[in-house]
Structure 1
Amino acid sequence: MELNDIDLNLLVVFNELLIERRVAKVADKLDLTQPSVSNALARLRKLLQDELFLRTPKGMEPTLYASQLAEPISFALNTIRNSLNQHAEFAPATSTRKFTIGMVDLGEIYFLPRLMDKLARVAPGVSVSTVRNTAVNLKDAMEAGQVDLAMGLLPQLKAGFFQRGLFQQDYVCMLRQGHPLQGKRMTLKQFTEADHVVVVSEGTGHAKMDEIIERKGIRRNIRLTVPHFVAVGHILAKTNMIATVPEQYAMACLEPFKLTYVKHPVQLPRIGINIFWHAKAHKEPGNQWLRNLIADMYSESGSL
């Protein structure tokens, strides 16, 4: 097969289907109709003589052949995109670019208030969209250029990614002001006897802390589990439960929810919060500008 036998737009549709897995989402992202996307897929199936994607309850699942094509096609499209844009300088004061950043709600609470305030002053036309970095396809989305940066504790982003450390922090026990354990050095016995709310944050390094506590043979009275951090402040403010959380998050909750925190009675490792980007975006001017801005704001010397 020669290159003049194939329409490059078909490969763009193919690449988006690998990421989104749904025709409707691809159509919306590419500003096409759903029949246009389906027609492009039909043409590509005929050209490559393979089904490429199979309809399942979870969406369009790639065939083995499509999976083999995924990395080289994504690489080729990004190479073309970067080559066409390599001379373009990023001008934050006049840019209207939309950046997509992967982070959990914990990161949104900590990073976004200061970041959006900063952007309003230095890049008023720039907008930000966040996606959950616990998504199964985060690596694929970053490789395809759909997610510009990811922030947090993400041990799964290794080969093919750059990272830069922002700061390290401890885990603490957070509780309401006026709690019977406030102001005391919490003992392990008090910790195990207290009622706990636990955040189940699968796919991030935060889940490792629960594993460490369990491996030490420490049994907690877990009364409530939630899938995100955003509700924890509200819950602790109205109950006598406690929660194991990163210290920076605890600091952000003190004033809004009238909470406090104490040193954790279990010896837990410090965690490093990093910013990640794919190697394909390493020299892209806009990506460089945003990650340097974030690093300047939140690196160890500048963190809250």
Structure 2
Amino acid sequence: MMNDAVLRKIDLNLLLAFSVLMQERNVSRAAERLLLGQPGLSAALKRLREALDDELFIRVGRGLQPTARALAIAPAIEDALSGIERAIRPPKGFDPSTWQGEFRVGMCDNLETAFFGPLVARLRQLAPGARLVGVAADKRDAAQMLDDGAYEFSISVHGEPASWHIRMPLFEQCSIAIYDPQQLKLKPPISVEDFVAAPHIAISFVGSATTAVDAALDKVGLSRNVVATVPRYSAVPPALRAMPSIAIVPESLGRCMAQLHNLEVSMPPVELPADPVSMLYRRVDRADERASWFRRLFVEVADKALLASGCKAGICAEAA
């Protein structure tokens, strides 16, 4: 353990002056290297002598001769100064093409469906030695999992962030209606009459048949017929393929489902609130080059995925 009482007597500038004097063995040349006047360097040497209780350097002619104590401590001081210099040296720029390691991202299942595939594909192109790990998360535990180190950032609908977190807006997630046109013979856009008449499959993580969709319908004096609820979006396409029904899902997910399962999409006939999807990451990671590169990569991939799927919402200018 370091002896604080001893270290308080010495500051870094004194050790640097000692090192340069050892190398130059001449006050004038050492002062020039240190950008000091000779009186300033002499004052520093006086403080060193008092702190270490040794002459350290003896004037011999025009030069300096180190004492036995100075010669004994010089290697350790050189090592210490070299270690400090390496520690505070600006880090090398992050090179994804040579990096070997893991990137971790937290997303709920609907965002994973829309973005995980394009993200890992792009990562393989730019950082072939890296591995992408997706961690299941939602807005209820996203901040705590971030603090626990479960992932480097979370993509979700986040609440007000803590002072040690940064929340970066990404896009407004609208909702769309999705159904199997082979089961439900409707042409988009669906009318409000057909919408409320059709059976509905609701998505609820807590098993409730009443969601924000029902609240929006209630405002205009309407209601829908919910015949089933599922806790995960992955269960929606098989259910729609099995029976004539409609589900309301986030737009980015719904358009992916439509492409993968030959489903039809339609804008809902009633206005539904949009969810502000954001990226949540730790403030301490803001200046980390590797972490910031990964955040920028996600923004790039998500923007292209949204445009490719036909979503109206794109990445916010602040994020892009």
Please give the range of the TM-score, normalised by the shorter of the 2 chains: 0.5 to 0.7
- Answering whether residue 266 of structure 2 is matched by residue 265 of structure 1, we say no
Secondary structure of residue in 2 paired with 1:186: coil
Cross-structure match for 1:108: 112
**Residues 218-297 of structure 1 aligned to structure 2 (within 5 Å):** 218-297=222-301
- Answering whether residue 147 of structure 2 is matched by residue 143 of structure 1, we say yes
**Residues 130-209 of structure 1 aligned to structure 2 (within 5 Å):** 130-134=134-138, 136-155=140-159, 157=161, 159-201=163-205, 208-209=212-213
**In structure 2, C-alpha distance between the alignment counterparts of 1:100 and 1:214, rounded to whole Å:** 40
Q: How much identity, in percent, do the aligned residues show?
A: 21
**In structure 2, C-alpha distance between the alignment counterparts of 1:138 and 1:3, rounded to whole Å:** 39
**8 Å Cα contact 1:92-1:123 kept in structure 2:** yes
User: Which runs of 5 or more residues in structure 2 are unaligned?
Assistant: 4-86, 309-320
Secondary structure of residue in 1 paired with 2:259: helix
Greater gyration radius:
2
**In structure 2, C-alpha distance between the alignment counterparts of 1:194 and 1:123, rounded to whole Å:** 47
The number of equivalent residue pairs is: 221
Q: Over residues 74-126 of structure 1, what are the superposed CA-to-partner deviations in whole Å (9 max), with x where a residue is unaligned?
A: xxxxxxxxx99983643211212212211111111100111111011100111
- Cα distance, 1:134 vs structure 2: 2.2
**In structure 2, C-alpha distance between the alignment counterparts of 1:302 and 1:255, rounded to whole Å:** 13
Secondary structure of residue in 2 paired with 1:230: helix
- Cα distance, 1:131 vs structure 2: 1.9
Q: 1:96 to 1:152 in 2, by over 3 A?
A: same
- After TM superposition, the structure 1 stretch with the greater mean CA deviation from structure 2, 115-124 or 263-272, is 263-272
- Cα distance, 1:127 vs structure 2: 1.2
Cross-structure match for 1:36: none
**In structure 2, C-alpha distance between the alignment counterparts of 1:213 and 1:299, rounded to whole Å:** 31
**RMSD of aligned Cα (Å):** 3.1
AA aligned to 2:106 is G
Secondary structure of residue in 1 paired with 2:172: strand
**8 Å Cα contact 1:94-1:125 kept in structure 2:** yes
Q: Residue 129 of structure 1 is aligned with which of 115, 128, 133? A: 133
Q: Over residues 106-155 of structure 1, what are the superposed CA-to-partner deviations in whole Å (9 max), with x where a residue is unaligned?
A: 11110011111101110011112222222754312212433211113223
**8 Å Cα contact 1:176-1:236 kept in structure 2:** yes
**In structure 1, C-alpha distance between the alignment counterparts of 2:253 and 2:305, rounded to whole Å:** 18
The TM-score normalised by the length of structure 2 is 0.60
**In structure 1, C-alpha distance between the alignment counterparts of 2:222 and 2:201, rounded to whole Å:** 15
**8 Å Cα contact 2:139-2:158 kept in structure 1:** no
AA aligned to 2:105 is I
Secondary structure of residue in 2 paired with 1:182: coil
Cross-structure match for 1:99: 103
Q: 1:85 to 1:172 in 2, by over 3 A?
A: farther
AA aligned to 2:283 is A
**8 Å Cα contact 1:165-1:299 kept in structure 2:** no
- After TM superposition, the structure 1 stretch with the greater mean CA deviation from structure 2, 113-122 or 209-218, is 209-218
AA aligned to 2:273 is P
**In structure 1, C-alpha distance between the alignment counterparts of 2:268 and 2:290, rounded to whole Å:** 40
**8 Å Cα contact 2:155-2:278 kept in structure 1:** yes
AA aligned to 1:248 is S
**8 Å Cα contact 1:197-1:225 kept in structure 2:** yes
**In structure 1, C-alpha distance between the alignment counterparts of 2:214 and 2:286, rounded to whole Å:** 34
